[in-house]
Amino acid sequence: MTTPVGFVGLGHMGLPMAQNVLKAGYALHVFNRTAAKAEGLLAQGASWAPSPQVLAARTGLVLSIVADDDALHAVTLGEHGILAGLPPDGVHVDMSTVFPDTSKHLAQRYRERGAHFLAAPVSGRPEHAAAAQLLIYLAGPVAVRERCRPLLAALGQGVIVVGEEPHLAHVLKLVTNFMVFAVNETLSEAFTLADKAGLKSAPVLEMLQVLFPSLVFQVYAQRIAASDFYAPGFTVRLGLKDVGHMRQLADQVAAPLPLADLAYRHLLAALARGRGDLDATALVTVVREMAGLAPGTR
């Protein structure tokens, strides 16, 4: 397979995803703000592009995953952005987590230029990205979605088709992340209660394995029990961005979201204590301190 594919964003998630695109046999072209992060991919046969515009012009099909809305605007719009380089009928599939209005605006801009913007945010952490076990939420015109399915199959264990309007994929991703942070908050309080009452974490973990065997419960419980915050797959800082988005969406549609408000306050307190670059499970450190316990950090 020699189909050219562009990839923008080689962070904790993007790098293993790009590696899977390369492994699947696509002719991979990459761009990243920090060029050094591409060195391993280049050694494996990928090609470097000096800008998102050049990358899009070479390939006509671009994947991206970046940190936030500002970063997505930076790589899509402007003289050297993806949109400026895409040929007519070209496709940009963005896999970032951004506010729904951002993808709604970008989809309109792309339509005006005769190109296509698809939203395909993902659920999973870097280890799931490396194993091609991401869950992908896909939205955009049906014919364009079908063109991208073989490529997306190289990245995830499944695709949930959300509809034809790209912004709805980001609504689903925020709903998903609301559930994730509700679990994070619940586990943080549960482990803190157990510790304060003299119960060690091992039987709590055993109980969770029997009664709550879901992936989210297990991944977060293991990290919280081990105070494993120092190899972050998803940081406190990014968690604040996502919870901020879900609170903004809740305000926009008048849907009270008290659990998100609570998680936001605890994440913000973790950031204020200098823990913004720790894993988002470091939310528990604030809950522990509120209970008069040591935070569990180094």
Report, as residue numbers or ranges, the catalytic residues. 173
Burial 144-164 (b: 16+ CB within 10 A, else e): bbebbeebbebbbeebeebee
121: closest CA among 172, 183, 69, 55?
172
298 vs 286: CA distance, rounded Å: 14
47: closest CA among 14, 82, 22?
22
Could you give the residue ranges of the DSSP H alpha helices within the chain? 14-23, 39-43, 52-59, 69-76, 82-85, 100-112, 126-130, 142-153, 167-196, 201-211, 215-226, 236-253, 258-272, 283-290
Beta bridge partners of 5: 28
42 vs 126: CA distance, rounded Å: 20
- Per the CB < 8 A criterion, the answer to whether 125 and 219 are in contact is yes
Residues in the chain: 298
214 vs 232: CA distance, rounded Å: 20
3-class state of residue 220 by DSSP = helix
Distances (CA, A) of 124 to 137, 170, 180: 12, 15, 11
Distances (CA, A) of 39 to 5, 8, 11, 13, 233: 17, 14, 13, 16, 21
